[in-house]
């Protein structure tokens, strides 16, 4: 039996809400079960299909871990002189890997420099494993499963936020609904936003006095 881990994130780009990271561990003999239920990169699935796969994936995998990174922690990393968003992801990924203790791990790499990122991540590990980092790693079933759990978790958080604060659109900087929500609520609900994002700085800070 070989324990295979896949790690991925959801919500790296939005100006609103958390970044969600996930790792799943599946026994090598159970990979086919993920394929059988239709697991693939979350971006290739409809919201309805992702929701339908959420519980079946949790039932197939041996264990999983989700980490929710709130906007303030993201801002602290981006504004830090010793940290950035990639390094913050590496730190959280290491927490996942150290807790789940797989034999082999495949991580979707956020950095253009895979070798440097891998070295940084490996230095944070306290357990030995065969570690692979790739771009677009969701082609591996275990990473695709992690991408679905992360995406559904974030989407559910955003839906709860919409119920509480109103329609904020997709949360992505290019969305007109998101821009309008940001302009209206930047001062009222500052905890919702990633203030280190250029969108927030450009749209909100120059208009905060008007709201």
Banded model confidence at residue 204, pLDDT cuts 50, 70, 90: low
Q: Mind listing the pLDDT tens digit for each residue in 130-170?
A: 999 999 999 999 999 999 999 999 999 999 999 999 999 98
pLDDT at 211: 43
pLDDT (tens digit, 9 = 90+) per residue, 8-53? Answer: 999 999 999 999 999 999 999 999 999 999 999 999 999 999 999 9
How do 63-69 and 104-108 pair as beta strands? unpaired
- Domains of the chain (ranges; CATH) run 3-162 (3.30.420.10), 166-210 (1.10.10.460)
Query: Which tens digits make up the pLDDT trace of 184-193?
Result: 998 899 999 9
- Backbone φ and ψ for 24, nearest 5 degrees, come out as -125, 145
pLDDT in tens, 82-126: 999 999 999 999 999 999 999 999 999 999 999 999 999 999 999
Query: pTM value?
Result: 0.94
Burial class (CB in 10 A: 0-12, 13-18, 19+), 70: middle
Least confident range from 64-68, 70-74, 170-174, 201-205: namely 201-205
Question: What is the C-alpha separation between 129 and 101, in angstroms, rounded?
Answer: 8
């Amino acid at each position: 039996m070989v324990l295979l881990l896949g790690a991925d994130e959801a919500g790296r780009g939005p100006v609103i809400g958390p970044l969600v990271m996930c790792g799943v561990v599946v026994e090598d003999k159970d990979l086919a079960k993920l394929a059988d239920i239709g697991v693939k990169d979350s971006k290739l699935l409809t919201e309805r299909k992702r929701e339908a796969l959420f519980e079946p994936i949790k039932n197939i995998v041996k264990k999983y871990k989700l980490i929710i990174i709130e906007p303030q922690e993201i801002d602290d990393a981006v504004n830090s002189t010793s940290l950035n968003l990639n390094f913050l992801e590496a730190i959280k990924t290491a927490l996942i890997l150290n807790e789940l203790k797989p034999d082999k791990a495949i991580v979707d790499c956020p950095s253009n420099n895979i070798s440097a990122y891998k070295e940084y991540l490996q230095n944070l590990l306290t357990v030995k494993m065969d570690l692979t980092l790739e771009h677009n790693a969701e082609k591996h079933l275990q990473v695709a499963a992690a991408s679905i759990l992360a995406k559904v978790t974030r989407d559910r958080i955003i839906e709860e936020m919409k119920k509480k604060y109103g329609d904020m659109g997709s949360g992505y900087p290019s969305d007109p609904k998101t821009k309008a929500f940001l302009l209206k609520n930047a001062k009222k609900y500052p905890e919702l936003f990633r203030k280190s994002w250029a969108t927030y700085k450009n749209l909100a800070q120059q208009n905060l006095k008007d709201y």
